[in-house]
Amino acid sequence: MPMNNLTPNLDLRSYHCEMQNHQHDYHQLVLPVQGQLQMTVGHSGGQVYTQQAAFIAAGENHSFAADDNNRFVVADIPHSLAPTLERLPAFLPMDPALVRYVEFMHQQILECQTVVGNEGQSKTTMLLLLTQLLMERHGGTVCIDRRVAAAKTWLDQHYQQPVSLYQLAEVAHLSQRQLVDLFKQSYRQTPHQYLTSLRMQHARQLLEQTDLSVQRIADEVGYSNLSAFSDRFRQHFGKSPRYFRSNSDLA
C-alpha cells in the first residue's frame, strides 16, 4: 500500500471483526475513539482501547480484528517525514491529556468532513502536535540491557523447544525476577508474553503457507498438546487454527 512520500493522512476508520494481516511502507498510529482492536505488531500482541494506542512502524507486519462497534483515529505518516517515530513502542499507554487530545482530534475530523476549506492544513497541524506529544512521553531512546537482549535472542532461536523461566534466567545471568522486570521495561511485555507471540506468529505463518497438519504445527512451535495449542492460538488471534487453514490459499 504505497503512499505519497510527502503527504501524511489523518482520518477516522472502523475495522471488521475478521482477522486481517498486512504491512505498508509508512508509519501508522491507531488511536482509540470507540470499541477495541486486537492487534499483533511484529512479535508484540495487545489491544487498542480507551487507555492504549498502537504504533506500526513502516514495513512492520501486523494483524488486527475489532469488535462490532468501533471507531479509531488513524494517522498514516510517511517514514521520510518522521523517522524518529521508530523509537516508539508498539503499544502506547494513553494518559488523560492524550485521551483528551484524541477526543479533540475526533471532533475536528468530523467537522472537517462537513466544511470545505483548510482541512488539510488543520489535519497536518493536529498530526504534528500528536507526534510531539507521543515522542515526549514514549520516544526516549531505549538502552537495552545486554543480558536482556541475550535472553530475547535465545528465545528467538529456541522458541520451538520447551522453555522455562529458570532456564532463560540462566542464559541472561539474572535472577528470574530481575529478568522479568528488565525484559518488561525493555520490550513492554514479559518473556512469557514475548515467547507466546513469537510462537503464535510462526504457527499462523505455517498454517497459511504450508500444508502441515495442525498437530505438526503445534509441535513445530513447542506445544506437544494440540488442545493447549489450539486454546492459546484462539486466545491470541480470536480465531481457531483451522480458521486460518481454511482461509489460506492451500485450503
Looking at residue 87, its pLDDT comes to 80
Looking at residue 5, its pLDDT comes to 46
Looking at residue 171, its pLDDT comes to 95
User: What residues contact residue 112 under an 8 Å CB cut-off, 6+ apart?
Assistant: 119, 122, 123
Cell digits of residue 17: 471483526
Cell digits of residue 44: 508484540
* Residue ranges per structural domain of the chain: 9-138, 146-246
Looking at residue 6, its pLDDT comes to 54
Looking at residue 142, its pLDDT comes to 52
Q: Which CATH architecture has domain 146-246?
A: Orthogonal Bundle (1.10)
> What number of other Cβ atoms are within 10 A of residue 195's Cβ?
22
CA 147: distance to chain centroid?
24
Q: Which CATH architecture has domain 9-138?
A: Sandwich (2.60)
- Could you give phi then psi for residue 28, rounded to 5 degrees? -140, 135
| Angstrom distance (rounded) from CA 115 to CA 10 | 16
User: What residues contact residue 7 under an 8 Å CB cut-off, 6+ apart?
Assistant: 78
At 20, is the secondary structure helix, strand, or coil?
strand
Looking at residue 14, its pLDDT comes to 93
- Tell me whether strands 37-41 and 44-48 are parallel, antiparallel or unpaired: antiparallel
- Could you give phi then psi for residue 217, rounded to 5 degrees? -65, -40
Strands (E), the chain: 9-13, 20-22, 26-34, 37-41, 44-48, 52-56, 62-66, 71-78, 91-93
Would you write out the chain's pLDDT as a tens digit for each of its 251 residues? 445 445 788 899 999 888 888 888 899 999 999 999 999 998 888 889 988 999 999 888 999 998 778 999 999 988 777 777 888 889 999 988 889 899 988 988 887 766 544 455 567 778 878 888 888 888 765 567 899 989 999 998 999 999 999 999 999 999 999 999 998 877 767 899 889 888 988 898 898 889 999 999 999 999 999 999 999 998 887 788 988 887 655 54
| 9-138 and 146-246: identical CATH topology | no
230: closest CA among 199, 189, 251? 199
